[in-house]
Amino acid sequence: MLEMPFTANTYLNPIIPGFNPDPSIVRCGDDYFLATSTFEYFPGVPIYHSKDLISWSLIGHALTRPNQLNLSSQAPSTGVFAPTLRYVKGRFYMATSVIRHAQDSEGILGVPVEPRGFYVWTDNIWDESSWSDPVYFDNLGIDQDLFFDDDGRVYLSTSASVPEEMRTSHGMNIGIYISEIDLDTGRSLNYPQIIRTSETEISIAEGSHILKKDGFYYLMTAEGGTESDHQEWICRSTTGPYATGHADLVEDKHGNWWAVLLALGRETFLCPVTWENGWPVFNGRQKISTIGKGPGLYTKVQETAWEETFPGKDISLGWYHRCTPIKKIYSVENSDTVRLYGGPYTLRDAETMSALLRKQISFNATWMATLGFSPRQVYEEAGIVVWWSQFSHMSLSIRMCASDRGKREVVLRSPTGPNDAFIESVAEIDSPGPVALKVTGTPSSYTFSYAASDCKWIDIGSVGSYVLTRTRPFDGIFTGTFFGIFSQGNSKPALVPADFSGIKMISL
């Protein structure tokens, strides 16, 4: 936690910590609403609410049904890219797409299929079940943006491959296309035109947003790729949106302008925007840091503790599945216990495993749960996990001892072997009954511990945090880190359920 004297009009970034990239924001009267990407995770596109741009709460998701979002065998960092959230005449619109890669058994990715985007709408953003079925567009591409002009016409902009004759000799050659569309059907009313190609070395223009102010149309694009060269470009035109990084703009009720953008660990940051000679200037041309200044804002100390209390006899908002579950994997047994039903897929498979994941929101954080689990087969296993992807995760679990089926053992598993192979550290559990499991994270490591009937914590090992984010040819970098609970049968049915209670995350 930062300890320093804060003055008035000072705030802390990120305003929404944890894996919350590609923010898009709207204001509706005194209320702000913000959407972010979810990639291969379900439900899709969280919706956050705030009254003051600083204190945000999760109120639901835009994509909660399989007919809205059907993710299966998704490779890491595929799925839902860069949504756009807009509010027009009492209705909210969310536009996005789902990108898919084929992958073989080793996780090697094939050529992605360029997606056909869509939008969903609702007249009641507080009710996540009210979002409509998808309305699909004709134009292919990612990072869909909807722009509603003053004359009632609606334009769709997307990022897609540029034609051969416009390509440079380097880079990925992805540009911004635009078409006018019929909003009711999503159909294009004219052929798409290219309005931006990137001047950066990697030649990617993505994450477009269009706005209109004082007679100018402004096109914002994220360029330079999603790594150290990520940058935001602004173009403008007076003749229409045709002439014209992941950032979006909003005007508050006092006439001040703000930008939301991704930074650090794929988190949502905020900065003030001023207008000089008809151009937006971000943060007074200064670097955007974890301490920001802006009129009317304040310093909020992030909550340090969260505990699952099962409101409404269900799990809380903020849990995620990897891909869309084909059946319900859990039940709430009482006021403090969730029961996971282990499936045949493991944490290392490309399909939906029986796991519930929750975003890690601080470098210094502890995740813990008490597990009641007495496996009857050596392949039945359950525990807690620090999750980045199917190739990059660390787990602490309980299983049956193969050498003595009357006993259990606790297993720490991580990809720390040669060529990122998963290796195990094992300790035998002598006593029956529930076992408490814990992982303590710091900026540089995760330490795993367990406590059996004597309630004494025993460290089984530590793993460097770099292991999660080590660049691999088959892994992705667009997502973030989760904590979670899981149960699995290792290619077989797991008939013994796993009961988790006392699920907590403590952030420092």
State the catalytic residues: 22, 206
Cβ-Cβ contacts under 8 Å for 402 (sequence gap 6 or more): 378
In the block, residue with structure tokens 């099962």: 310
Do residues 385 and 392 make contact, with C-beta atoms less than 8 angstroms apart? Answer: no
Do residues 200 and 223 make contact, with C-beta atoms less than 8 angstroms apart? Answer: yes
Q: Euclidean distance between the first and final Cα of the chain, in Å?
A: 6
Do residues 333 and 499 make contact, with C-beta atoms less than 8 angstroms apart? Answer: yes
Side chain identity at 199, as an amino acid letter?
E
The sheet with strand 135-140 has its strands ordered as: 79-88, 91-99, 116-122, 135-140
Sign of CA dihedral 303, 363, 461, 338: positive
Q: Which two three-digit tokens encode residue 215?
A: 């007679």
| C-alpha separations of 83 from 44, 79, 319, 368, 508 in Å | 10, 11, 19, 32, 31
Q: Hey, how many other C-beta atoms are within 10 angstroms of the C-beta on 299?
A: 17
Phi, psi of 418 (to 5 degrees): -55, 135
Among 228, 162, 245, 170, CA closest to 202: 170
Q: Which two three-digit tokens encode residue 262?
A: 């991704």
Cβ-Cβ contacts under 8 Å for 13 (sequence gap 6 or more): 263, 267, 269, 270, 288, 289, 290, 291, 292
In the block, residue with structure tokens 């995740």: 367
